[in-house]
Amino acid sequence: MKMKNRKNSIIFRDTFNLMPMSLASLVPSFDLKVEDKPFFPHMANRPENYGKEIYPTKNDYLANGMMPEKRKMFEVWYEQHKNTPFFLDEALASYCTNDVEILMAALIAFRKEFFEVTKRNNGERAASTKEHGGIDVLREAMTIASACMRHFRTNHLKEQHLALVPERGYDKVDGNQSLLALRFFKWYSEKFGVTVQNVNSDGGEKRIGNYQLDGWVVEENYGIEVNGCVWHGCPKCFPCGNDLMPNGKLLDI
């Protein structure tokens, strides 16, 4: 989000789109020289506790929702501090300050590391022989996916080349099933109470030798081709043998 005034503008960025991990995980991930994120009794953060000494319970720290390793660390820490008065006002200010320090240090480290990964010297990368100082991930990308794509385009995609993406996406690159076929298999499966293996199944399309079947009825061991002649051709439907198929290929029977 970007906000402007008469002279300047402020850009608000969701850093989770670049570093999808918890603040606590950022410290060891980037070997940050900041204080580790402390345990905090979030459930005790209520107006009636402000300005008072309190003794938070384990439930206030949401202990039951912690991962096993973190829970072990918490149990040791809690036994050491459970009888120590807790000043919520001071702890809350310190906790929020720590959050900011961790995120700021992580962003600086991440930006620096991305510069190092994406820079190139003369003749170093396949994409270009020109020197490049690296990609500023905070200025040139909104998500880690877009940052990686920019790195690919800048350093690995050769000049005057285009990336050819499969029309149905990479996950369907081995299959050529139509929406009609998939809807038919769904109907067939529900109508007759059987499992129809297709391109969306865990194992993909059923293979028999060098061939792939549009659908394979697992319980009855038989295959189904939906408009197979249209896509693959056969001597009966295409006696000329040199017709143009819907996929742009010339039939050769």
Domain ranges of the chain: 11-117, 119-164, 174-232
Lowest average pLDDT, out of 19-28, 59-68, 87-96, 128-137, goes to: 128-137
SS3 128: coil
Q: Taking Cα atoms as reference points, which of 102, 109, 104, 105 lies closest to residue 137?
A: 109
Confidence of residue 2 (pLDDT cuts 50, 70, 90): confident
What are the φ/ψ torsions at residue 5 (nearest 5 degrees)? -120, -160
Q: How far is CA 57 from the centre of its chain?
A: 36
pLDDT in tens, 150-209: 998 888 888 777 777 665 566 555 556 778 888 999 999 999 999 999 988 888 888 888
SS3 124: coil
The pLDDT of residue 162 is: 76
pLDDT in tens, 92-103: 999 999 999 999
Which residue reads 């319970």 in tokens? 57
User: How, if at all, do strands 196-197 and 215-217 pair?
Assistant: antiparallel
Q: Which residues contact 46 (CB under 8 A, 6 or more apart)?
A: none
DSSP string for 23-57:
HHHHHHHTT-SSPPPPP--GGG--GGGTTSEE---
The pLDDT of residue 171 is: 58
The larger pLDDT score, comparing residue 69 to residue 177, is at 69
What share of the chain has pLDDT > 70, as a percent?
88
pTM of the complete model: 0.60
Confidence of residue 9 (pLDDT cuts 50, 70, 90): confident
Q: Which residues contact 113 (CB under 8 A, 6 or more apart)?
A: 30
Residue 109 and residue 115: Cα distance in Å, rounded? 10
